[in-house]
Amino acid sequence: MPAGSRPVLAELDRLEAAWAAVTEDDEIRPELAKRLRGLLSRVMPDESPAGARLASASDDEIFNFIDNEFGTA
């Protein structure tokens, strides 16, 4: 593992520890999920453009897409 990547992994450890304090009903969860998906799309450069759009979509955008494609129940 390159030495330059170790600080990033240490920060991920800190993030995991902070995530443990976020409760299921915490209002920050949607924003946190959106930002994490955006970060993940940066480390997966071979992902398709549609996949990148999906990774950065909000929950509402995803549900709207599902409703538009499959209709509502």
Return d(Cα 66, Cα 15) in angstroms, integer. Answer: 31
Q: SS3 of 67, please? A: helix
Q: What are phi and psi of 28, to 5 degrees?
A: -80, -15
Q: What are phi and psi of 72, to 5 degrees?
A: -95, 155
What is the model's pLDDT at position 48? 62
Local structure of residue 54 (DSSP, 8 states): H
What is the model's pLDDT at position 6? 83
Place of tokens 């902070």: 18
What is the model's pLDDT at position 34? 87
pLDDT truncated to tens, each residue of the chain (73 aa)?
566 668 888 998 998 888 888 877 778 888 888 888 888 877 776 656 666 677 778 888 888 888 887 876 5
Local structure of residue 4 (DSSP, 8 states): G
